[in-house]
């Protein structure tokens, strides 16, 4: 039998989720919901088989609804997800899980209490390119991973209730933790500036260190001439990139690094060898993510980006936010 899903929030992103759940085998889009009449009128014709509502409670009262997808703006994530789980429905909530660790913990506790599936929409964890990068890193092909950095830049959509750290950085932190294989950073720093809206950083630079020695840098910006969505991993043997702006060469491995010269002990020479790009499936990552949710609802398993995983992302984002706000972080010149 199909898993019956309701999607709440029909702004920019929610209709993409509704489209995927509408088309997925094993899922049925039973409800679409938005408090804005304009959004309801705009999207109802695209999903003629779904019921339409302006009130989440109407969905929660439907005994035949299995799961609710929360795609509303970020401050509402934790309260709405808690309500969904409290009503005994499975919950997919868009990233980030919450705006604070305290709120994220409440949602995770609500999921535990209800025994329902909680999954956070950390889309890149389902991207075949990220999967490939992770498997290359784990195979030892790159050697020891020294450091990685990400660039998420655009002349982008300014959000009134979220800075670039929380809006863009939620993606990079989730991938970073995914690639770090469960290790969490020991310390982090963030610097940022608010050029367009007072008090809302549109440009943020982050630096994180892990107990294993791994270091990471994130450059997040809505105020940039370039559109970049790229991760670079630098290892002791090779280097690799995941570049989501590339059509065909999403992942590239560079046989570049330093070799030790045996004749003269202690000297290093640079090596600049082959560059190759493995094949990456072009299945839409959002479809893979939605299918993963339906499968976990069906088998009751823990999703890849489940509540605990979403909580770890929020913990790192909150630590970075504290650093961003701290005044004693920089040395005077
Ligand atoms: N995974 C991704 O790549 C990705 C991309 C974009 C946005 N997002 C996430 O999707 C979410 C939505 O972003 P957006 O850009 O679509 O926002 P948006 O502001 O365009 O849309 C939000 C919609 O939610 C509705 N809404 C708010 N509270 C509601 C409530 N209580 N009941 C019913 N409807 C309600 C609003 O009326 C609005 O139409 C955010 O969490 C964002 O982080 C994820």
User: What is the Cα–Cα distance from 273 to 251, expressed in whole angstroms?
Assistant: 17
Tell the burial category of 231 from Cβ atoms under 10 Å away from its Cβ (0-12, 13-18, 19+): buried
Domain extent, residue 97, equals 3-121
Per the structure, how many domains does the chain have?
Answer: 2
Whether 144 and 196 share a structural domain: yes
Specify the residue for token string 């069906």: 298
pLDDT at 203: 96
Whether 82 and 155 share a structural domain: no
Nearest residue (by CA) to ligand 1, atom 15, is 12
Whether 164 and 23 share a structural domain: no
Nearest residue (by CA) to ligand 1, atom 33, is 34
C-alpha 37 to ligand 1 mean position (Å): 15
Cite the DSSP H helix spans in 212-264. none
Beta bridge partners of 90: 67
CATH label of the domain that carries residue 180 = 3.30.360.10
User: What is the Cα–Cα distance from 198 to 216, expressed in whole angstroms?
Assistant: 28
Q: Which stretches does DSSP call E strand in the chain? A: 3-8, 27-33, 51-53, 67-70, 90-94, 118-121, 145-155, 187-193, 203-209, 215-221, 223-235, 239-243, 251-260, 268-276
C-alpha 286 to ligand 1 mean position (Å): 15
C-alpha 14 to ligand 1 mean position (Å): 6
Whether 113 and 63 share a structural domain: yes
pLDDT tens by residue, the chain, 333 residues = 899 999 999 999 999 999 999 999 999 999 999 999 999 999 999 999 999 999 999 999 999 999 999 999 999 999 999 999 999 999 999 999 999 999 999 999 999 999 999 999 999 999 999 999 999 999 999 999 999 999 999 997 888 889 999 999 999 999 999 999 889 999 999 999 999 999 999 999 999 999 999 999 999 999 999 999 999 999 999 999 999 999 999 999 999 998 877 666 678 889 899 999 999 999 999 999 999 999 999 999 999 999 999 999 999 999 999 999 985 556 778
Whether 115 and 134 share a structural domain: no
Last residue of a domain, one of 67, 102, 121: 121
User: What is the Cα–Cα distance from 183 to 164, expressed in whole angstroms?
Assistant: 24
Please check whether residue 242 lies inside any domain of the structure. Answer: yes
C-alpha 99 to ligand 1 mean position (Å): 14
Q: Which two tokens stand for residue 52?
A: 């339409």
Please check whether residue 309 lies inside any domain of the structure. Answer: no
Specify the residue for token string 């499936």: 281
Please check whether residue 294 lies inside any domain of the structure. Answer: no
pLDDT at 260: 78
CATH label of the domain that carries residue 57 = 3.40.50.720
pLDDT at 182: 80
The three-state secondary structure class of 129 is helix
* DSSP state, residue 306: B
User: What is the Cα–Cα distance from 34 to 56, expressed in whole angstroms?
Assistant: 8
Last residue of a domain, one of 121, 141, 176: 121
Whether 115 and 131 share a structural domain: no
Please check whether residue 82 lies inside any domain of the structure. Answer: yes
Nearest residue (by CA) to ligand 1, atom 5, is 13
Specify the residue for token string 């009130």: 55
Please check whether residue 136 lies inside any domain of the structure. Answer: yes
Nearest residue (by CA) to ligand 1, atom 8, is 13
Of the chain, the end-to-end C-alpha distance in Å amounts to: 66
Please check whether residue 308 lies inside any domain of the structure. Answer: no
Whether 152 and 80 share a structural domain: no
Asked if residue 165 lies in contact with residue 220, where contact means CB atoms within 8 angstroms, the answer is yes
Which atom in ligand 1 lies closest to the alpha carbon of residue 122?
Answer: 1
User: What is the Cα–Cα distance from 170 to 122, expressed in whole angstroms?
Assistant: 8
pTM score over 0.85: yes
User: What is the Cα–Cα distance from 130 to 121, expressed in whole angstroms?
Assistant: 15
User: What is the Cα–Cα distance from 323 to 316, expressed in whole angstroms?
Assistant: 11
- What are the pocket residues of ligand 1 if the criterion is a CB atom closer than 6 Å to any ligand atom? 8-14, 33-36, 39, 56, 71-74, 76, 80, 94-95, 121, 123
Q: Which two tokens stand for residue 256?
A: 């570049």
Nearest residue (by CA) to ligand 1, atom 27, is 72
Please check whether residue 43 lies inside any domain of the structure. Answer: yes
Asked if residue 44 lies in contact with residue 72, where contact means CB atoms within 8 angstroms, the answer is no
Last residue of a domain, one of 121, 140, 174: 121
DSSP string, 91-112: EEEESSS-SSHHHHHHHHHHHH
Whether 179 and 223 share a structural domain: yes
Whether 142 and 241 share a structural domain: yes
Whether 133 and 54 share a structural domain: no
Whether 228 and 130 share a structural domain: yes
Whether 80 and 42 share a structural domain: yes
- Among 175, 150, 128, which Cα is nearest to 230's? 150
Query: What phi and psi values does residue 192 have, to the nearest 5 degrees?
Result: -160, 165
C-alpha 76 to ligand 1 mean position (Å): 9
> HSE of 255 in the Cβ direction (CA atoms, 13 Å)?
5
Q: Which two tokens stand for residue 7?
A: 């999607």
């Amino acid at each position: 039998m199909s898993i019956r899903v309701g999607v709440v929030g029909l702004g920019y992103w929610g209709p993409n989720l509704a489209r995927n759940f509408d088309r997925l085998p094993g899922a049925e889009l039973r409800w679409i919901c938005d408090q804005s009449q304009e959004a309801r009128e705009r999207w109802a014709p695209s999903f003629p088989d779904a019921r339409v509502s302006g009130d989440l409670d109407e969905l929660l009262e439907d005994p035949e609804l299995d799961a609710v997808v929360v795609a509303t703006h970020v401050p509402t994530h934790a309260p709405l997800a808690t309500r969904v789980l409290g009503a005994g429905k499975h919950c997919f909530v868009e990233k980030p899980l919450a705006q604070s660790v305290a709120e994220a913990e409440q949602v995770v506790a609500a999921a535990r209490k209800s025994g329902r599936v909680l999954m956070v929409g950390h889309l890149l964890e389902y991207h075949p390119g990220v999967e490939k990068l992770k498997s290359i890193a784990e195979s030892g092909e790159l050697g020891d991973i020294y450091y990685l950095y990400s660039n998420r830049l655009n002349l982008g959509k300014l959000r009134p209730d979220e800075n670039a750290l929380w809006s863009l950085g939620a993606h990079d932190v989730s991938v970073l933790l995914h690639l770090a294989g469960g290790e969490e950073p020991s310390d982090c720093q963030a610097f940022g500036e608010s050029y367009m809206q007072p008090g809302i950083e549109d440009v943020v630079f982050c630096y994180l260190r892990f107990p294993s020695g791994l270091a990471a840098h994130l450059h997040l910006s809505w105020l940039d001439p370039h559109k970049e969505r790229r991760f670079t991993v630098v290892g002791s043997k090779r280097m690799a990139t995941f570049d989501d702006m590339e059509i065909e060469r999403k992942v590239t491995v560079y046989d570049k690094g330093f070799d030790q010269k045996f004749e003269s002990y202690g000297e290093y020479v640079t090596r600049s060898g082959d560059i190759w790009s493995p094949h990456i499936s072009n299945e839409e990552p959002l479809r893979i993510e939605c299918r993963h949710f339906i499968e976990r609802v069906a088998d009751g398993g823990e999703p890849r980006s489940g509540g605990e995983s979403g909580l770890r992302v929020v913990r790192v984002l909150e630590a970075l936010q504290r650093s961003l706000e701290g005044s004693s972080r920089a040395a005077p010149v």
